[in-house]
Amino acid sequence: MPVYIRGVGLTKVSEYWKKSIYDLVVEAGLEALDSSGIDPSEIDRIYVANALGQYINRQGHLGAYVADALGLLNTGAVRVEGTGASGSMAVYLGYKDLLAGAENILVLGVEKMTDVLPTHVYTARSLAEDWSYLTSIGTTFEGLEAILYRLYMKRYNVDQEKIAMLSVISHSHAEGVKHAQFPRKINLESVMRSPIIADPLHLLEIPAPCDGAAAVVLSKKGNVKIDAVEMSTDEFRVFEREDPLWLDAVHDSMKKALANAKLGINEIDFVELYDVSTILGVLELEAMGFADKGKGVELISEEMIGLNGKIPVNTFGGLKARGDPMGATAIYQIIEIYKQLIGEADRSQIDNAKIGLSLSLGGLGNTAVISILSRK
Amino acid sequence: MPVYIRGVGLTKVSEYWKKSIYDLVVEAGLEALDSSGIDPSEIDRIYVANALGQYINRQGHLGAYVADALGLLNTGAVRVEGTGASGSMAVYLGYKDLLAGAENILVLGVEKMTDVLPTHVYTARSLAEDWSYLTSIGTTFEGLEAILYRLYMKRYNVDQEKIAMLSVISHSHAEGVKHAQFPRKINLESVMRSPIIADPLHLLEIPAPCDGAAAVVLSKKGNVKIDAVEMSTDEFRVFEREDPLWLDAVHDSMKKALANAKLGINEIDFVELYDVSTILGVLELEAMGFADKGKGVELISEEMIGLNGKIPVNTFGGLKARGDPMGATAIYQIIEIYKQLIGEADRSQIDNAKIGLSLSLGGLGNTAVISILSRK
Amino acid sequence: MIHRIPDYWRNLPVYLQLKGSVCKKCGAKYFPPRKICPKCGSRELEVYDLPRRGKLLSWTVIRYPAKEFEKFSPYVVGLIELEDGVRLIAQITDVKEDELKFGMELRATVRRAFEEGEDGIVRYTYKFVPI
Amino acid sequence: MIHRIPDYWRNLPVYLQLKGSVCKKCGAKYFPPRKICPKCGSRELEVYDLPRRGKLLSWTVIRYPAKEFEKFSPYVVGLIELEDGVRLIAQITDVKEDELKFGMELRATVRRAFEEGEDGIVRYTYKFVPI
Ligand SMILES: [Zn+2]
Ligand SMILES: [Zn+2]
């Protein structure tokens, strides 16, 4: 029994000083419900993805919170947390709930980070990693990315510019995108001149703190089909992995998802990466199988991953330019694939979009989730 | 296609200064896996219930964390948070995942509260409630319970002793229970003389901070069947409800669960309440339909809810005496029902245990989950 | 201590002026203001000024508060029904514990809620006092 | 700031003495110590003393740390491979940034990690220094 996306809704990713979690939830939730054409009372369950609310906003229990905000009482509602992968986990749960007999499921992701200083956001991101042996000894999430970055450049003898270029390409795809946090081009020089967060990682190679909410209605009817949602995990501490530059959870979830969807990797028309940094984007392309080990960097060009490239990537700007409201990010990705597949991607539209794939990560690939969607 | 409980594991509920989340997870997880008789590699997915880790332990992403701790890499793993209802939500998700085609699911709940001072635990409990209009103006979770308590006594003209008695009965059921935090009797006088947390609520009417982990393996084979797991929500802020003493999410999830299991309330042999305070236990009995409004207090006697009573309640001590390691609590409840149904409840064993029911709450009934299990 | 200034600032009109919302379709009234009416599903609600008087339905004395309220403990928190039937929970101040009574008349005022952290950022909110 | 003293205290043997674990069945070695071997599933692992020397595989300079590390910023964190092949991540100290080299020899030492909150509770941990 196929499961479809029947309605979608999102807020622009931004810094919303005047909007609360409540405001964002209502905006995205109602848009998704309205576009689905079903009555809110027909929603069987609500899955809410949120990464940082208990730390940043002192607000937990967002399942019931969202149900209440949308005026949907007596509804089952569950909050899911897998840091950056929260949103795709929520889609996974909604998908399974439908397969188990539900009729209509609302999946909503929300994150409100900008109520606190950026230093707290950096700290919050590290909740995804081991407290006792990474965070509490002074390691940040960005620091871990930077260590992998330097290792990659050394092992494969690659210039940083070739990796940082992913940020430039992603930004070019976000130009004019209404829901993007940074809907404008940037050049490589400005990336390389931006402040260093953790050497060699620059500020313009990672997402900025932001807020946003996105929602999809899953149903037995619709115009975009879910072909597969598959999850996998890896060693929780990156330093323990046989090769720290190999994202095995990405590799494993990709393998499972393609098998489940009965597709070959060449049949994927475009990809939404989880570019929580430029270097992670490169490692993801390798682990997914789009490039050999050490060769992912060769894909980072307009010809390869541009909107008219061989395998378009981050068609609305990815985490860097569309923005990364953590718990909601994977749902933005799903909605972007939806828009491509129904031909409503505006300036980001690629030709012949029939099958789209998104990847999301929890931590440094501690979790990976692959979703594959296709036009009905 | 029926879903069964195939293996269970738990730690004693206690204050574990020498054990970490890792230690607790491994202890409960391995016991559940071993008792199920299936090979760990046959686990398709792991659902991890945890309420407070991001706030208290600075550790999020517990899905992947638990998979790693158990040595199960390349497994799908999801953390679920619905405060006190986290554990039963995780059971719900595992149940649906099996109905959607999975073979074996590990559901694990863990909470490690005693690494911080009790004041932080009280604060953490209030994450379940609205930050902007309750917590940030000075209301605690226990304070809300206390307000309902006073209202109940006034409206129904009831003495506090009659309500506080629930704590005494629960403790008497925990006597000698190996996994209980407080395996001993207490008397009504000591309850009424214990310090007041929030007038009129006494310290010995609510659970104490504690740690624990519990796990169940769900499968297509087993000796205890899941008849229903149903969730519902209510207005998120208790003061908005038409009657703040009526737990409508409890009422609604009970109705759905009985319908789903094709059972009448009289067919339920025993009940695990979510006695996050004595007064909540009373309100739950009313909302579930075991007593009329204002009459729940009449059930609080050995004759009615004792182990040999009409409808035995909290057969291993409930939240007060077995303990309330929040994210794990609902899984302890499920395991206790399992033990009753297979006749391995030791001193807590009731006669003719064929159908058991557990209730868990997120916040003050913002969420309610009812699970019904039966002997195969 | 993490400061959440924007959250406080967004809620200031509600904290200082007690705003609710009323459903234009079914007339249901809400505090805090809502954008969707749970009773009828309508999205046409408008903000209105809540009555600033009400009566006490129940109360407690908080003795183990969250960290930022420790210096104010013990303090009274009550469930209040405003004159138009809308309910809320608020601190009750300028009153001795043994003076509290079911049904007692109260009025809203603005007081200090708490100070955040070392920097001593002060937050204000509604509290109720006897009339 | 929430103190997590028991967590620190539990990990002290590992922090101060660098303990790992080795699988008695397949010989795999782990840091931090594990109770189950992900490679072979064995539960027979024993704690052992890790070598206190290793070489630098990669590193970074943390410029935007968590609150409790702000006063130490910037500082160096590196990926280190110990003499028996076990890897870990640790702060590298007593070294200038431009002296850091791939493969450089390091040894473990115990240093202050950070001070928690106003009460100034001091935590110690392993850090590595050049040999
Ligand atoms: Zn209405
Ligand atoms: Zn081994």
* Distance between B77 CA and the closest CA of chain C, angstroms: 30
Q: How far is the CA of C23 from the centre of ligand 1 (A)?
A: 5
| Domain count along chain D | 1
Nearest residue of D to residue B29 by CA position? Answer: D36
Pull the structure tokens for residue A209: 């703190």
CB pairs under 8 A between A and C: 41
Residue of A nearest to B123 (CA): A58
Residue C121 confidence (pLDDT) above 80: no
Number of inter-chain CB pairs under 8 A, A vs B: 196
Say if the Cβ atoms of A20 and B54 lie within 8 Å.
no
Q: Would you state the pLDDT for residue B376?
A: 80
Q: What ligand has the least distance to the C-alpha of C25? A: 1
Nearest-Cα distance to chain D for A106, in Å, is 35
Q: How close, in Å, is residue C68 to chain B by CA atoms?
A: 9
SS (H, E, C) A138-176: CCCHHHHHHHHHHHHHHHHCCCHHHHHHHHHHHHHHHCC
DSSP chain D: ----HHHHHHHHHHHHH-EEEEETTT--EESS--SS-TTT----EEEEEPPSEEEEEEEEEESS--GGGGGG-SEEEEEEEETTS-EEEEEE-SS-GGG--TT-EEEEEEEEEEEETTTTEEEEEEEEEE-
Which residue in this structure is represented by tokens 């990709």? Answer: A254
- pLDDT over 80 (residue C95): yes
Residue B372 has pLDDT above 70, yes or no: yes
pLDDT of residue C67: 84
Nearest CA in chain C to A70: C36
> By CA distance, what is A235's nearest residue in D?
D38
Distance CA B48, CA A108 (A): 20
Ligand sitting nearest the alpha carbon of D23: 2
Does residue D120 surpass a pLDDT of 90? no
**What is the distance between the alpha carbons of residues B50 and B47, in angstroms, rounded to a whole number?**
10
Q: What is the rounded average pLDDT of the residues D53-58?
A: 98
Dihedral of CA B275/B277/B280/B285: which sign?
positive
Helix (H), strand (E) at residue B22 = helix B21-36
Distance (Å, rounded) from C-alpha D15 to C-alpha D17?
6
Average pLDDT over residues D76-104: 97
Chain A contacts to C (CB-CB under 8 A) = 17-20, 22-23, 26, 30, 40-41, 56-58, 68-73, 114-117, 120
pLDDT in tens, chain A (376 residues): 899 999 999 999 999 999 999 999 999 999 999 999 999 999 999 999 999 999 999 999 999 999 999 999 999 999 999 999 999 999 999 999 999 999 999 999 999 999 998 888 988 999 999 999 999 999 999 999 999 999 999 999 999 999 999 999 999 999 999 999 999 999 999 999 999 999 999 999 999 999 999 999 999 999 999 999 999 999 999 999 999 999 999 999 999 999 999 999 999 999 999 999 999 999 999 999 999 999 999 999 999 999 999 999 999 999 999 999 999 999 999 999 999 999 999 999 999 999 999 999 999 999 999 999 999 8
Residue C115 pLDDT > 80, yes or no? no
What would the two tokens of residue C51 be? 């009555």
DSSP H/E element including C87? strand C87-92
Give the minimum alpha-carbon distance from C82 to chain A in angstroms, rounded to a whole number: 22
Nearest to A61 among B64, B83, B252 (CB): B83
Q: What is the CATH number for C82?
A: 2.40.50.840
The token duo for C107 is 């009025």
Expressed in angstroms and rounded, the spacing between residue B230 Cα and the centre of ligand 1 is: 27
Has residue D118 got a pLDDT over 70?
A: no
Other C-beta atoms lying within 10 Å of the C-beta of residue D38: 20
Residue from A3, A19, A52, A78 whose CB has the most chain B CBs within 10 Å, to mutate: A78
- The distance of Cα A94 from the centroid of its chain, to the nearest Å, equals 17
User: Pick from B263, B250, B255: which is nearest to B374 by CA?
Assistant: B263
Token digits of residue A190: 């400005």
Give chain C positions within 8 Å (CB) of B197: 63-64
DSSP assigned state of A346: G
**Sign (positive or negative) of CA dihedral A246, A248, A253, A256:** positive
In Å, how far from its chain's centre is CA A208? 14
Token pair listed for B4: 């069964």
- 10 Å CB burial of residue C42 (0-12, 13-18, 19+) is middle
Q: CA angle, corner B186, sides to B185 and B189, nearest 5?
A: 155
**Alpha-carbon gap, residue B349 to B11, rounded angstroms:** 20
Nearest ligand to residue D35 Cα: 2
pLDDT category, C118, cuts 50, 70, 90? low
How high is the pLDDT of residue C1?
59
CB contact under 8 A, A56 and C2: yes
B162 Cβ contact list (under 8 Å, min separation 6) = B297, B300
Task: Name chain D's partners: 3 or more CB pairs within 8 A.
Answer: A, B
Q: Is D66 on the interface with A (CB under 8 A)?
A: yes
Strands C19-23 and C45-49: antiparallel
Which of C2, C10, C38 is the closest to A20 by Cβ? Answer: C10
Kindly state the percentage of chain C with pLDDT values over 90. 76
Structure tokens at D58: 């990669």
Q: Does the beta-carbon distance from D62 to A119 stay under 8 Å?
A: no
Asked if the C-beta of D13 comes within 8 angstroms of chain A's C-beta atoms, the answer is no
- Whether the pLDDT of residue D121 is over 90: the answer is no
- Asked whether the beta carbons of D111 and D93 are under 8 A apart, the reply is yes
Q: Are A10 and A210 in contact (CB under 8 A)?
A: no
- CB-nearest to D36 from B20, B71, B114 is B71
Binary contact (B114, D37; C-beta < 8 A): no
The residue length of chain B stands at 376
| pLDDT of the residue at B229 | 98
Backbone angles phi, psi at A97, to 5 degrees: -60, -40
Give the tokens for residue C24.
Answer: 């234009």
Q: How confident is the model at residue D117 (pLDDT cuts 50, 70, 90)?
A: low
Q: Which residues surround ligand 1, an ion (CB under 5 A)?
A: C 23, 25-26, 28, 37, 39-40, 42
ipTM over 0.90: yes
Residue A96 has its nearest CB partner, among B57, B67, B96, at B96
> Are C4 and A115 in contact (CB < 8 Å)?
yes
pLDDT at A227: 98
Model pTM?
0.98
Asked whether the beta carbons of residue A240 and residue D87 sit closer than 8 angstroms, the reply is yes
Residue D116 has pLDDT above 70, yes or no: no
Identify the CA nearest to A236 among candidates D30, B327, D55: D30
The tally of CA atoms less than 13 A away on the side-chain side of residue C49 is 6
Q: Which residues of A touch C34 (CB under 8 A)?
A: 71
Q: How far is A130 from chain C (nearest CA, A)?
A: 21
Cα separation, B15 vs A278, in Å, equals 44
Residue D44 contacts B where some CB pair is shorter than 8 Å = no
Structure-model confidence comparison of residues C117 and B362, the more confident one: B362
> What per-residue confidence (pLDDT) applies to C116?
67
Query: Is D38's Cβ below 8 Å from some Cβ in B?
Result: yes
Q: How large is the average pLDDT for residues D34-61?
A: 97
Which of A104-118, A274-288, C3-17, D99-113 has the lowest average pLDDT?
Answer: C3-17
Question: Considering Cα of B310, then B315, then B234, then A76, what sign does the dihedral take?
Answer: negative
What is the set of domains in chain B, with CATH numbers?
Answer: 3-117+210-219 (3.40.47.10)
Chain A residues near any Cβ of chain D (below 8 Å): 118-120, 122-123, 126, 131-140, 142-144, 146-151, 154, 195-201, 235, 237-240, 244
Note whether A292 and A373 are within 8 A (CB). no
The residues that bridge with D76 in the sheet, in sequence order, are: D61, D92
In the structure encoding, which two tokens stand for residue B303, read together? Answer: 């004759």
Interface test with B, best of D1, D2, D3 (most B CBs within 10 A): D2
C5 touches chain B (CB under 8 A): no
Q: Which residue has the tokens 């550790």?
A: B59
Q: What is the DSSP letter of C122?
A: E
**Cβ–Cβ contact A220 with B under 8 A:** no
Beta bridge partners, A111, equal A212
D contacts of A134 (beta carbons < 8 Å):
89
Q: Which residues of D touch A140 (CB under 8 A)?
A: 62, 64-66
- Which among A122, A154, A198 has the least Cβ separation from residue D102? A154
> What is the domain extent for residue D22?
5-130
Taking CA–CA distances from D14, the nearest residue in chain A reads A133
Nearest ligand, CA C26: 1
pLDDT at B91 over 70: yes
Tens digit of each residue's pLDDT (9 = 90 or more) over B236-259: 999 999 999 999 999 999 999 999
One-letter amino acid of D120: G
Q: Which chains are adjacent to chain B, needing at least 3 Cβ pairs under 8 Å?
A: A, C, D
A-chain residues within 8 Å CB-CB of D79? 147, 151, 239, 244
How many whole angstroms separate alpha carbon B35 and alpha carbon B8? 6
Please, which pLDDT band fits residue C122 given cuts at 50, 70 and 90?
Answer: confident
Instruction: State the pLDDT at residue A292.
Output: 98
Mean pLDDT of chain B: 97
Q: For residue A152, what pLDDT is reported? A: 98
Written as one string, the DSSP assignment of B220-263 is: SS-SEEEEEEEEEE--SSGGGSSSTT--HHHHHHHHHHHHHHT-
Proportion of chain A in helix, strand, coil states, percent, rounded to 5: 45, 20, 35
* Minimum Cα–Cα distance from A145: chain D residue: D60
Distance CA(A28)–CA(B373), nearest Å, equals 38
Phi, psi of B77 (to 5 degrees): -150, 130
Query: What mean pLDDT is predicted for residues D65-93?
Result: 95
Find the CB nearest C63 among B147, B148, B198. Answer: B198
A64, A75, A128 member nearest B60 (Cβ): A128
